[in-house]
Amino acid sequence: MNQTPLSKEHWARGGKAVDFYGWKMPLHYGSQIEEHHTVRNNLGIFDVSHMAITDIEGNHSLDFLRLLLISDAARMKIGQALYTALLNEEGGVMDDVILYRLDDESYRLVSNCGTRDKIKAWLQKCLADQKTNRVSIRERTDLAIISIQGPTSLANASLYPADYFSSIQSLKSFFGTFAGSAWIARTGYTGEAGLEVIAPAETITELWCHLLNQGVRPIGLAARDTLRLEAGLNLYGQDMDDRCTPLESNMARLVDWQPEDRQFIGRSALQRKQQATTHKLIGLTVEKPGIPRTGQKIYSDGRLSGHITSGVYSPTLKEGIALARVIQDIPNTFSLVIRNQKKIARIARLPFYRRDSKAS
């Protein structure tokens, strides 16, 4: 089983190990609920070094990315981050990714660990199809990633080494910059302010230990899941996959149709399916007590109308919340069965949680 450079730190601090797509990762360090509230109310630190990092470089790298991605990388400024997706020829989502523009001709792609081999092969195939030697693809297995998330993550200068904080102060949301060998970006997966740091393994280990010595609490995958779902964020392999288009995965806003001559992979199939899309991804809440779970069926007017793709108890909102793929014309109120009991569910606006309207 794969392990990150921080594995010894996790187990030394009582992390409960879980197999996550072939990676031995910490599920929690004692209490998922406490870790969730730590991030919502203060800050916590996640090891996300299981994610795949790929550098795409060369003077044709932008042309290559405009072919690969549903969003137009030509819009990116140096330092900017872009949340987007790669499609297959049929318009299915191969993965959702974060792209960083490092400089004029260098980009960094961060993709999911569960799609690592698939995306690596896809990038190599697409590059071979282009028959160019002006783009290079380099998998950065020498780098690791930590995520520092929470409302106080940007406020305390004493938390960070001096060169880090001077870089952080100048950053806007969804932008990044280098501090020595570390790439620091205002991105995350929790719905809170925060940072993600990509750096050589030794540097990441030093920063992790420095932050823990400052009293920052480590957070496991379980709280990461409840935090991201409260923020209305998709999880690849549950809320979308290569059988689903972005149009039925609450990702239509990411598709840049202009300019019309940008023929990104999957565009033709997506255009054909625009008018024929029968399902959509929605947020829903469930009457108390009731916790929706992945795979549960949804009914409206006695007919099967969809299923839960991700469902949890929300520690912040104190109710059951879920993402669900349902038919387009589903009513605002419908039902599902939880522990042999019929429960009423209602469509909820996404994201479920916003910091400016946080539950008390």
Superfamily of domain 7-38+142-230: Probable tRNA modification gtpase trme; domain 1 (3.30.1360.120)
Model pTM score:
0.95
For 278-349, CATH number out of 2.40.30.110, 3.30.360.10, 3.40.50.2300, 3.30.2010.10 equals 2.40.30.110
Kindly report, residue by residue over 214-261, the tens digit of the pLDDT: 999 999 999 999 999 999 999 999 999 999 999 999 999 999 999 999
Q: Is the pLDDT of residue 120 over 70?
A: yes
Cα 303 to chain centroid distance, Å, stands at 33
Cα(129)–Cα(126) distance, rounded to whole angstroms? 5
Cα(257)–Cα(263) distance, rounded to whole angstroms? 9
Q: Specify whether the CB–CB gap between 114 and 25 falls below 8 A.
A: no
> In this predicted structure, what is the pLDDT of residue 36?
98
Phi and psi dihedrals of 130, rounded to 5? -80, -15
Q: Is the pLDDT of residue 360 over 60?
A: no
Which letter does DSSP use for residue 352 in this model? S
Every domain of the chain with CATH number 2.40.30.110 lies at: 278-349
